[in-house]
Amino acid sequence: MGKGCITVTKYFLFLFNLLFFIFGALIMGFGLWVLFDNQSFISVLQESSHTVKVASYILIGVGSSSMAMGFFGCIGAIYEIRCLLGLYFTCLLLILIGQVTAGVLIYFQRDLLKYEMSNIIKGIIVNYTGVNRTTEHTWDYIQRTMKCCGWTGPNNWSNNTVIGTSTQKFYPCSCRNVSLPGSDVKYVGLCEHLSPEPPVYEMGCITNVEKWLLENCGVILGICTGVAVVEVIIFSLGSERLVLMSHSPSLCCTTCPSSQHASQCHPSVETHLHLQTDLSARPLAGFPVCDLSQGF
């Protein structure tokens, strides 16, 4: 019964470590996406905020660590290396504590993150010149694809240094409302208009951007939650397996150096020794018993 439990736990432990490895790869992939993406709102935050870069490095570190832990966990489960499993579960517990701590910090700092993000976008709008900069082109891409203008509304662009000081009527080309009549314009930089009001979108980008962030952060949060659940299951299975291994003589000993310790290693060896002793004390059939103490 105990051997069967150990075998079942072994394969379940291998399966959950494989899932742990896959989840770790997904988390590391999200971290790499946040770090190297240049076509979404993330790149805007990267240029102006170190928090996003730190978060991407944390995701990459947690993901790569999870992949390594899953790999060594699979090896420890298959080959039944007790020392490796013990070290593995210690590191697993530390990772789980780190994940919970990071989640709590992010939850309580969410208002500060929103405030920081708002200041970043307003700074981009104020200093926008239309030159070849990654943050400006990315913000143009956001306004064009999300069909919005400014952060809270198109009035934010009145604080722009170029638009506010120029005698001409300029507006950001990416804010152009394509549903309005007029000639096609470029997608980046500043465009001139002759009408009393610029032909731009009336809605600000704050709602769409926050929705986009919630959707993507929700995916990351879901994966991290899945990893945490798998970690708890792995920790429970691993603890049970270590207990079973410590109480299973066939798994704790590999060699039997002497007959005195044979019963501690393999019960079958003890049975064999008793059987050998019984056979040596019995006479073979058809042969007389010789009593050497009486002489010949």
Note the pLDDT of residue 251: 42
155, 239: one domain: no
Q: How many domains does the chain have?
A: 2
Angstrom CA distances, 267 to 222, 249, 280, stand at 49, 8, 20
What SS3 state is found at 195?
A: coil
Query: Is residue 286 in some structural domain?
Result: no
CATH number at residue 161: 1.10.1450.10
Looking at the structure, tell me whether residues 145 and 127 fall in a common domain: yes
User: pTM score, two decimals?
Assistant: 0.57
The answer to the question of residue 92 being in a domain is yes
Residue 44 structural domain: 2-111+223-249
Asked if the structure places residue 232 within a domain, the reply is yes
pLDDT of residue 126: 92
127 & 81 share domain: no
Residues 91, 236 within the same domain: yes
Shortest CA distance to 212 belongs to which of 156, 149, 146? 146
Per-residue pLDDT, 239: 64
Does 212 reside within a domain? no
- Do 8 and 88 share a structural domain? yes
Give the angle subtended at the CA of 234 by the CAs of 232 and 238, to the nearest 5°. Answer: 120
Residues 96 and 140 both lie in one domain: no
Euclidean distance between CA atoms 115 and 163, whole angstroms: 25
Is residue 101 located within the same domain as residue 11? yes
Q: Does any domain span residue 107?
A: yes
Which residues have CB under 8 Å from 52's CB, separation 6+? 34, 42, 45, 46
Q: How many CB atoms lie within 10 A of CB 110?
A: 11
Return per-residue pLDDT of the chain as tens, 296 residues: 445 555 666 777 778 778 878 888 888 887 787 777 666 666 665 555 566 677 778 778 878 887 887 887 777 767 767 777 777 777 777 777 777 776 676 677 777 777 888 888 888 899 998 776 777 888 888 898 899 999 999 999 999 999 888 888 899 999 988 888 766 667 788 888 888 888 899 999 998 888 887 777 777 677 777 777 777 777 676 666 666 555 554 443 333 344 444 444 444 434 443 434 444 444 444 444 444 444 43
Q: Are residues 237 and 180 in the same domain?
A: no
In whole angstroms, give the CA distance from residue 216 to residue 225.
14
Q: Are residues 101 and 238 in the same domain?
A: yes
Domain contains 47: yes
Backbone φ, ψ for residue 190 (5° rounding) = -110, 140
Is residue 9 within 8 Å of residue 103, measured between CB atoms? no
Is residue 150 within 8 A of residue 200, CB to CB? The reply is no
DSSP string, 112-165: HHHHHHHHHHHHHHHT---SS-HHHHHHHHHHHHHT--SSSSGGGGGG-HHHHH
Q: What are phi and psi of 268, to 5 degrees?
A: -65, -30
Residue 267 placed within a domain: no
Give a yes or no: residue 263 inside a domain. Answer: no
CB atoms within 10 A of CB 17: 26
Is 96 in the same domain as 167?
A: no
One domain, residues 7 and 106? yes
Residues 133 and 195 in one domain: yes
